[in-house]
């Protein structure tokens, strides 16, 4: 891939000093700092959104984001001889966020709060922003997918232990999913979504520790590809859940994370209620079953078996976390 990207790089006004491999990408050390190039199969409209969002964030002082670099001709992507599209972005070489480090994940949530405060209303992006799926609609979709997996397994003549294990625990987790979805419907989420759309509230869409890089005392945030108009609390939920899973639902760390977020951007009462209900939803159970259903069912990876065991083992701790975090 390095050779192919080296053929593309002359389309940009840059001098390359060195190159090295990144994750599904090539990293260039240039006279304008580090850049990342990768093959792109999406739309130009989505790239325009990312380009405008990055410029907006930089104008607001949130400078370290992976903004798109235009070609010499002012294009958002470059093409090779076969019309394959490549995108070049600003990049950062530093220390990856270590999810096991409390200091790192607390810095990450403070950056998220800052990001949310800046993007609470960005009217200029309304016409080019995707409206993200409602958390309620997402839960409803996941419930349908859970039932599909159960029906598929029940219809199999020859089942393996992993599949029997899913059926054994299915009703417990499915009932939890249905209950959480019903509770979510009874929150203020519909009105919150209306307000977000009216104000053009922009969310990251995939905020996790993989998209956080520390450069000295500064924090860079990357991976805005899945963003759009939506609820900031969905970003907060996604980040908090991922971190809590890695820290065995440690209550003190949960308090500290939300406190650090609140120092920069206050979580409203309505957002708190939605956050609580989203955490109740058995997301990890759905994820393991979804990977199984969409994968090679003739061979079930050991890691899927291990993931399911971890879900069962962590359920009681997660429930205790939710109960104590928002106890009256």
pLDDT at 328: 54
Q: What is the DSSP string of 147-203?
A: HHHHHHHHH-SS--HHHHHHHHHHHHHHHHHHHHHHHHHTSSHHHHHHHHHHHT-EE
List the one residue out of 143, 156, 180, 161 whose CA is nearest residue 275.
180
List the one residue out of 183, 223, 4 whose CA is nearest residue 92.
223
Average pLDDT over residues 222-230: 96
Token reading at 40? 């792109």
Helix (H) or strand (E) holding 87: strand 85-90
Tens digit of each residue's pLDDT (9 = 90 or more) over 292-324 = 999 877 788 788 888 899 999 999 999 999 999
pLDDT at residue 57 greater than cutoff 90: yes
The answer to whether the beta carbons of residues 238 and 204 sit under 8 Å apart is no
Sign of CA dihedral 152, 153, 158, 162: positive
Average pLDDT over residues 190-197: 97
pLDDT at 1: 79
Tens digit of each residue's pLDDT (9 = 90 or more) over 11-50 = 999 999 999 988 789 999 999 999 999 999 999 999 999 9
- Residue with the bigger pLDDT between 5 and 183: it is 183
pLDDT at 303: 82
Token reading at 86? 């490549």
pLDDT at 23: 79
Which domains are seen in the chain, by residue range? Answer: 2-93 (3.30.200.20), 102-325 (3.90.1200.10)
Beta carbons within 8 Å of 35's beta carbon, 6+ residues apart: 14, 27, 28, 69, 88, 89, 90, 91
The whole-angstrom separation of Cα 167 and Cα 164 is 5
Range with the poorest average pLDDT among 127-136, 179-188, 319-328: 319-328
| Burial class of residue 20 (count of CB atoms within 10 Å of its CB; 0-12, 13-18, 19+) | exposed
Q: Is the pTM of this model over 0.85?
A: yes
pLDDT at residue 72 greater than cutoff 90: yes
pLDDT at residue 194 greater than cutoff 70: yes
Tens digit of each residue's pLDDT (9 = 90 or more) over 154-175 = 999 888 889 999 999 999 999 9
Average pLDDT over residues 238-243: 97
CA angle 252, 253, 256 (to 5 degrees): 90
């Amino acid at each position: 891939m390095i050779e192919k990207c080296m053929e593309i790089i002359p389309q940009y006004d840059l001098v390359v000093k060195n190159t090295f491999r990144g994750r599904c990408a090539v990293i260039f050390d240039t006279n304008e700092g580090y850049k990342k190039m990768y093959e792109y199969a999406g739309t130009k409209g989505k790239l325009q959104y990312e380009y405008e969002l990055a410029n907006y964030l930089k104008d607001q002082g949130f400078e370290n984001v992976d903004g798109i670099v235009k070609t010499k001709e002012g294009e958002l992507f470059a093409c090779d001889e076969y019309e394959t599209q490549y995108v070049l972005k600003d990049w950062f070489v530093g220390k990856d966020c270590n999810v096991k480090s409390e200091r790192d994940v607390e810095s990450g949530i403070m950056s998220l709060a800052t990001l949310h405060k800046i993007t609470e209303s960005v009217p200029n992006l309304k016409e080019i922003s995707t409206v993200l799926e409602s958390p309620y609609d997402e839960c409803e979709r996941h419930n349908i997918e859970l039932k599909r997996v159960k029906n598929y397994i029940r219809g199999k003549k020859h089942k393996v232990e992993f599949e029997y294990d899913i059926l054994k625990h299915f009703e417990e987790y499915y009932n939890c999913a249905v209950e959480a979805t019903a509770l979510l419907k009874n929150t203020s989420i519909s009105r919150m979504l209306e307000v977000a759309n009216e104000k053009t509230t922009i969310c990251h869409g995939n905020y996790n520790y993989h998209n956080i890089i520390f450069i000295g005392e500064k924090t860079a945030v990357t991976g805005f590809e899945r963003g759009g108009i939506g609820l900031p609390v969905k970003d907060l939920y996604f980040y908090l859940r991922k971190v809590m899973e890695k820290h065995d639902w440690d209550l003190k760390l949960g308090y500290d994370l939300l406190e650090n977020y609140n120092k920069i951007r206050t979580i409203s009462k309505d957002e708190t209620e939605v956050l609580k209900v989203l955490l109740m939803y058995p997301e990890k159970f759905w994820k393991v079953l979804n990977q199984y259903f969409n994968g090679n069912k003739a061979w079930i990876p050991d890691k899927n078996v291990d993931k399911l065991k971890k879900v069962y083992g962590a359920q009681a701790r997660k429930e205790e976390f939710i109960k104590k975090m928002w106890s009256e």
